[in-house]
A = this chain, B = another copy of it.
Amino acid sequence: MLHFFPPNNEKMRSKVPSLVGVVDVLVANLEDGVPLGEKEAARAGLVEVATTVNFGTTQLWTRVNSLDSPWCLADIRAAVVDCAGAVDVIILPKVEGPEDIHYADRLIAQLEAESGRSTPMLIHAILETARGVANVEEICLASPRMQGLSLGPADLAANRRMKTTRVGGGHPDYLVRSDPDPENTDAPRAVYQQDLWHYTIARMVDACVTAGILPYYGPFGDIRDTTACADQFRNAYLLGCVGAWSLHPDQIAVAKEVFSPSAAEVAHARRVIDAMGDGTGAIMLDGKMEDDASVKQCQVVVQLAAQLAATDPELAALYGIGN
Whether A296 and B194, one on each chain, are in contact in the complex, defined by CB atoms closer than 8 angstroms, is: no
The segment from A51-59, A126-134, A311-319 found at the interface with B is A126-134
> How many copies of this chain are found per oligomer?
6
Known contacts A198-B194, A238-B171; A297 and B33 CB within 8 A of each other: no
Residue A256 at the chain B interface, CB threshold 8 Å: no
A14 at the interface (CB under 8 A from B): no
Contact call B272/A165, Cβ cutoff below 8 A: yes
Kindly state whether residue A180 has any CB partner on chain B within 8 Å.
yes
Q: A290 touching B221 by the CB < 8 A rule?
A: yes
**In contact, A289 and B221 (Cβ under 8 angstroms):** yes
Q: CB of A322 within 8 A of chain B?
A: no
Cβ-defined contact, B165 with A235, below 8 A: no
Q: Is the CB–CB distance between B167 and A289 below 8 Å?
A: yes
Interface contact A130-B205, CB-CB below 8 Å? yes
Q: Are B210 and A158 in contact (CB under 8 A)?
A: no
Residue of B nearest to A110 (CB): B73
**Once the chains bind, are B294 and A167 in contact (CB under 8 Å)?**
yes
Q: For A164, give its contact among B170, B208, B297 (CB under 8 Å).
A: B297
Q: Which residues in B have their C-beta under 8 angstroms from that of A167?
A: 288-289, 293-294, 297
State whether B189 touches A227 (Cβ < 8 A).
yes
B residues within 8 A CB of A290?
Answer: 221
With both chains docked as a complex, state the minimum distance between the C-beta of A289 and any C-beta of chain B, in angstroms: 5
Selected contact of A32 from candidates B33, B209, B291, CB within 8 Å: B291
Q: Separation in Å of the A166 CB from the closest CB of chain B?
A: 8
Of A15-23, A82-90, A274-282, which binds chain B? A274-282
Asked if A239 is at the interface (CB within 8 A of a chain B CB), the reply is: yes
Contact residues, A28-74 vs B (CB, 8 A): 31-36, 38, 67, 70, 72-73
Asked if A123 lies at the interface with its beta carbon under 8 angstroms from chain B, I say: no
Closest chain B CB from A117 CB (angstroms): 14
B35 pairs with A280, CB closer than 8 A: yes
